Structure 1
């Protein structure tokens, strides 16, 4: 195992958002990520984690246990004391997401025909950890050159324009809802019948909302979300296009931690406990987007929903030999194939009223959708500024040309 090089620098002159934007701009076509947290929705957590220029990426295909694949692909733990070094830990970890549809694989439920893969992860990234208490940033990379380059690139990025004023009630101008309110209400009624028949006690039904990218930067969606809905887990993943998969970004907030653990995730259970791999399987099955009992509820939602959930209700975070932290992907906006997408779900029980549940899903989607609107408005402002700049440059060039003509005529 190659070693990890670390370097700690003062960080009172730069914010994590500005630093990440600079790193992302310096590595176009390369995958990257950013994790933050907020405490009680009122103040930012101590650490922010950024990563880019990963040396390894992997798709987790259908038909295989993704947790075992991740555990087998991990490096050996670092030397004593390294678990305390968060930057080095994340550098050595897999970072990425698992889809909700991973549950179908684990429970023997038929996968969706259009299911592309169960997850996407990267490893051996150059990582920066901001410590807001110590006012430092620690860079970890696989070489001294990678660390030094990161330190320079963080502070030499393009200007980061401000976001427009945020309106939590504003929706995208162009919004598509593949399943109408009437269609969703009918699915709720069908789920309620299955519950009344004793097939499950609770079913979560999800629905999708879509809006065209229209040139908006997905990172602006994250910037808006972190202000509109600060939470325990704030995450932004930017997976570059590859020969095996299209580009994908995921921006989101979640207050639900699935698993937080120290030590080897593939270790055997100790003293009657479960290994991390087993705990992760159980946590995903017990997430708030599943229903009860999990296997039957998942089968019912698979039967009633219109397509794979993919990001919604899955897991996001880092998974390493020295420790892991995984959150539920709720409140997420992802972009692929030219669209932003949002999914929300309602927990259906015997007393659920179909029209009310349809309205609940719309309310729950409003925050992520308003973040999309903010990104669209930021793009409009950028385009307008560029048009004004181009017009000013043309006017200056015409004025200079007129002056030259006047000089030649004298």
Structure 2
């Protein structure tokens, strides 16, 4: 079921703040050019949580058998989406680099020092789709995964519409951006050695492009949404996402991923 609302005064950020739900996610396009950045998605209240961590694949916390990506593909319903919309419900999450070790021999995988899953997805059937070109928002409640009865779906749809019309408690509160003191996890000498090794591989013809990176961390106790809102204004990108996946909070912007 769906309901179409006018969204000339409603933004994805505002909708995210107003909708009451669990494991909410924003996939946001900044509509500078409405043809190329037309849609944004806010999803909430997933039916399934699928995670691959420490060699174990789980669905809603229960261990299951199978290849992680194949299992995810089997669980996700196909062919349900509206042809005019970019999303018809399904899995939203991330796949970590170390997952490639299931398919290719990449040598020894470094020890996991931050306790993140190799793959973590939620499967949604409750979501909003913002069409920035028409300034409409599609409020969707489905039952393709939960098999809820129609009355339950209708009630859920009505609740979300009511949420969108109700001001959030912190809607106009100033963003609380506490100063963060970051520390690096690679010493300068080790990083220089990485650069020298990459240059040698390039000279040998074994590599033509390399992006060296290192992780920075900081103690944090604030609201990560405040940082996402600030980041999208101070350093805007056409495509952004904000996700809260269990212990991980992901902000993505301009091809940078921030773990909070």
TM-score w.r.t. length of structure 2:
0.78
How do residues 119-268 of structure 1 correspond to structure 2 at under 5 angstroms?
A: 119-142=119-142, 143-156=153-166, 157-160=168-171, 161-163=173-175, 172-213=179-220, 215-239=221-245, 241=246, 247-254=247-254
How do residues 11-410 of structure 1 correspond to structure 2 at under 5 angstroms?
A: 11-23=7-19, 26-27=20-21, 30-38=22-30, 45-61=37-53, 65-78=67-80, 82-86=82-86, 89=88, 91=89, 93-109=90-106, 110-114=108-112, 116-142=116-142, 143-156=153-166, 157-160=168-171, 161-163=173-175, 172-213=179-220, 215-239=221-245, 241=246, 247-254=247-254, 330-335=255-260
The CA distance in 2 between the partners of 1:104 and 1:95, in whole Å, is 22
Return closer, same or farther for 1:173/1:10 CA change in 2, 3 Å cut-off: closer
How far does the alpha carbon of each residue in 1:163-186 deviate from its partner, in whole angstroms, 9 at most, with x for none?
Answer: 47x9xxxx9441101113333112
Two-structure CA RMSD over aligned residues (Å): 2.9
CA contact (8 A) 1:39 1:231 kept: no
How far does the alpha carbon of each residue in 1:57-83 deviate from its partner, in whole angstroms, 9 at most, with x for none?
Answer: 1103465754322211111422xx723
Q: Is 1:10–2:21 an aligned residue pair?
A: no
How far does the alpha carbon of each residue in 1:178-220 deviate from its partner, in whole angstroms, 9 at most, with x for none?
Answer: 113333112211332344445433333221111211x211111
Shift of 1:236: 0.6
CA contact (8 A) 2:39 2:86 kept: no
How far does the alpha carbon of each residue in 1:85-140 deviate from its partner, in whole angstroms, 9 at most, with x for none?
Answer: 345x1x2x111111122233332223333265321111134101122332221111
What SS does the corresponding residue of 1:53 show, helix, strand or coil?
A: coil
CA contact (8 A) 1:95 1:121 kept: yes
Report which of the two has the higher share of helix. Answer: 1
The CA distance in 1 between the partners of 2:135 and 2:252, in whole Å, is 25
Return closer, same or farther for 1:221/1:198 CA change in 2, 3 Å cut-off: same
CA contact (8 A) 2:26 2:41 kept: yes
How far does the alpha carbon of each residue in 1:348-399 deviate from its partner, in whole angstroms, 9 at most, with x for none?
Answer: xxxxxxxxxxxxxxxxxxxxxxxxxxxxxxxxxxxxxxxxxxxxxxxxxxxx
What SS does the corresponding residue of 2:138 show, helix, strand or coil?
A: strand
The CA distance in 2 between the partners of 1:210 and 1:69, in whole Å, is 33
Shift of 1:41: 8.8
How far does the alpha carbon of each residue in 1:309-344 deviate from its partner, in whole angstroms, 9 at most, with x for none?
Answer: xxxxxxxxxxxxxxxxxxxxx311112xxxxxxxxx
The CA distance in 2 between the partners of 1:144 and 1:249, in whole Å, is 31
